[in-house]
């Protein structure tokens, strides 16, 4: 009998690639989407790959929707062996100008959405003494990306949840893997254009934010590369807790780990963009200037 995998946010990007890739590896895959009617590209790509992804309409931001969606999955499949918490939203804003409601909205999806799904599958995993939970955080869960305060805050919280979860579940034989993508090809970046700079004081922060993504998108990683890493993370005999992947992830994580707090703060103090880009490349190993 095939292992059962659930991939949230399966309608685009990493989620879609992961659902298709796991199905190609022999998993029975359920992909959660907010609207089945908008899943045409997922269905077409799955058909081209010669696989099937069962669609479940589910909104991870809503308790009742998650409960109903997972009740259907468990009724049909009997269990969940692998949960991939991929669904999430972005959130651009500097702290001064970000309404608390936006922090709460982003946190409700990126953190609480994953918690809802985790709580739906853990009783069965504990009873069987096996299973894997893969949490897709972000490189922004390891380094504070500029002018994305609500997004960064949610991803740092998701990292903390995941680290604690790994210890909590170790006695039950349940594996936890944290995937930390940098810039991966995805439709989310085309939608991530908000720059709520009401005061005008943070022009440089937003300009540098969009420059970072412009540089990343020029070399963005294929989401199927991330999908292959997710499959490795749940099947390897030598599991890790953290996996950095995609453009910029390893450079940013390693660079920040070796950077003093003084130098980190000084990076943000540059008034001139060129000086900022030079210092960014020197300290974090990424050239943000477009070719």
Write out the catalytic residue numbers: 151
Count the Cβ atoms, other than its own, within 10 Å of residue 172: 14
Residue 143 tokens, joined: 């380094």
Closest CA to 84 of 244, 246, 229, 191: 229
- For residue 5, the SS3 value is strand
Residue 252 tokens, joined: 């940013």
- In the sheet that holds 82-85, the strands lie side by side as 53-57, 28-33, 4-7, 82-85, 132-136, 175-181, 242-245
Element (H, E) at 181: strand 175-181
Angle at 17 between CA 144 and CA 83, to 5 degrees: 75
What is the Cβ-side half-sphere exposure of residue 62, based on CA atoms within 13 angstroms? 9
Query: In sequence order, what are the residues at sequence separation of 6 or more whose Cβ sits closer than 8 angstroms to the Cβ of residue 281?
Result: 287, 288
DSSP state of 220: P
């Amino acid at each position: 009998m095939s292992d059962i995998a659930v991939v949230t946010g399966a309608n685009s990007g990493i989620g879609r690639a992961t659902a298709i890739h796991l199905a190609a590896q022999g998993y029975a895959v359920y992909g959660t989407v907010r609207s089945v009617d908008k899943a045409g590209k997922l269905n077409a790509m799955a058909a081209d790959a010669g696989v099937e992804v069962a669609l479940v309409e589910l909104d991870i931001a809503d308790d009742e929707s998650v409960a109903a969606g997972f009740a259907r999955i468990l009724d049909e499949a009997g269990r969940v062996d692998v949960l991939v918490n991929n669904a999430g939203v972005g959130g651009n804003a500097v702290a001064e100008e970000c309404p608390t409601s936006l922090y709460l909205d982003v946190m409700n999806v990126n953190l609480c959405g994953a918690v809802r799904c985790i709580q739906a599958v853990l009783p069965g995993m504990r009873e069987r003494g096996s299973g894997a939970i893969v949490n897709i955080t972000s490189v922004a869960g390891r380094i504070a990306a500029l002018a994305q305060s609500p997004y960064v805050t949610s991803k740092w919280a998701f990292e903390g949840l995941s680290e604690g979860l790994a210890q909590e579940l170790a006695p039950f034989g349940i594996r936890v893997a944290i995937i930390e993508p940098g810039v991966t090809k995805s439709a989310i970046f085309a939608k991530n254009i908000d720059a709520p700079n009401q005061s005008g004081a943070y022009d440089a922060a937003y300009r540098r934010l969009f420059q970072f993504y412009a540089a990343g998108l020029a070399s963005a990683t294929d989401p199927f590369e991330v999908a292959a890493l997710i499959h490795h993370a749940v099947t390897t005999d030598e599991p890790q807790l953290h996996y950095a992947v995609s453009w910029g992830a390893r450079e940013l994580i390693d660079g920040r780990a070796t950077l003093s707090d003084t130098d980190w703060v000084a990076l943000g103090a540059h008034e001139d963009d060129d000086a900022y880009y030079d210092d960014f490349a020197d300290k974090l190993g990424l050239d943000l200037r477009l070719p």
